[in-house]
Amino acid sequence: MTENLPISRALNAGLRRALETNDRVLLMGEDIGPLGGVFRVTEGLQKDFGPRRVIDSPLAESGIVGTAIGLAMGGFRPVLEIQFDGFVFPAFDQITSQLAKLTNRHEGALQLPVVIRIPYGGHIGAIEHHQESPEAYFTHTPGLRVVSPSTANDAYWMIQQAIDSPDPVIFLEPKAKYWQKGEVDTEAPALPLHASRIVRRGTDVTLVGHGAMVTTLLQAAALAESEGTSCEVVDLRSLSPVDYGPLLDSVRRTGRMVYAQEAPGFTSLGSEVAATVTERAFFALEAPVLRVSGFDVPFPPAKLEGTYLPDADRILEAVDRSLAY
């Protein structure tokens, strides 16, 4: 069966299916009950599954994650919602010092199947602490899996795959794309949770990104094609671990790569991917791997976000620089 859904509704449908198929799954977060969350991703779920499975929590992120750790130890599969990216930091110690390490501390005997949903990224004209891209903090932390869907179909399936994972998963949702519609095939997932995917074929330059940036990369590729340049676009989907196979295959065909991200560039996921591609495909590269990112400053006020966030023009400028080598 195929449905045309915005990403927010695809996530809602995925969460609903997980709640229906496994009575150990429960949701926790601030205002996720009658309100349905800030972005209405959990709308209607408390009404249908009750307040013991869709739990409105106090405004205490550290308490939410700490409680989820205990629930996971008791055999539950908690799915947590952090209202906005910048609100995750009060829970940072619980996530990186406890959640990420307890399985290793118990030599694998204890599993912590906790999913932490984090709306992240810009493009919504919000204030400070509401438009950040904190993925590098979590990809740097051993013991955490980190993923980010860019389409409605991926949102629907990846949230269910994350819930099924025996390990803790940071599930980054590109909030700017919550209302972007796409076809959702509810019969079978297209890919495993940690697989990257080529979303557009090309021959001259490989463009790589994740989350909301994939849409921008596709826009840049369409513009480049009108100017005679063929760009291939790769959606990472999984940020930790990274599936390098399709990415390296693409770079070996095109000889050039541009990585784009909303996060600041210094010690970022883009830095790691660029270094790894350079190490593993050095002799295939015709030019250095280039990066386009947010600037190394705190996320600016809403009127300046258009300057801060990479757009198609900045990506095309990097493509031109790559082709000039």
- Residues marked as catalytic: 130
Tokens 């790569």 correspond to: 257
N-terminal to C-terminal alpha carbon distance within the chain: 48
Give the integer Cα–Cα distance in Å for 285 and 6: 38
Chain-centroid distance of CA 96 in Å reads 18
Give the integer Cα–Cα distance in Å for 221 and 56: 43
Give Cβ neighbours of residue 317 (< 8 Å, ≥ 6 apart): none
- What residues are paired with 146 via a beta bridge? 170, 240
Closest CA to 158 of 209, 210, 201, 93: 210
SS3 assignment, position 21? helix
Chain-centroid distance of CA 243 in Å reads 14
Residue 190 in contact with residue 224, Cβ under 8 Å?
no
SS3 assignment, position 256? coil
Give the DSSP letter string of 93-137.
Answer: HIIIIIITTHHHHTTTS-----EEEEEE-SSS---TTSS---HHH
Give the integer Cα–Cα distance in Å for 242 and 196: 7
Hey, how many other C-beta atoms are within 10 angstroms of the C-beta on 253?
A: 14
Residue 204 in contact with residue 251, Cβ under 8 Å?
no
Chain-centroid distance of CA 204 in Å reads 27
Q: Which two tokens stand for residue 240?
A: 């930790």
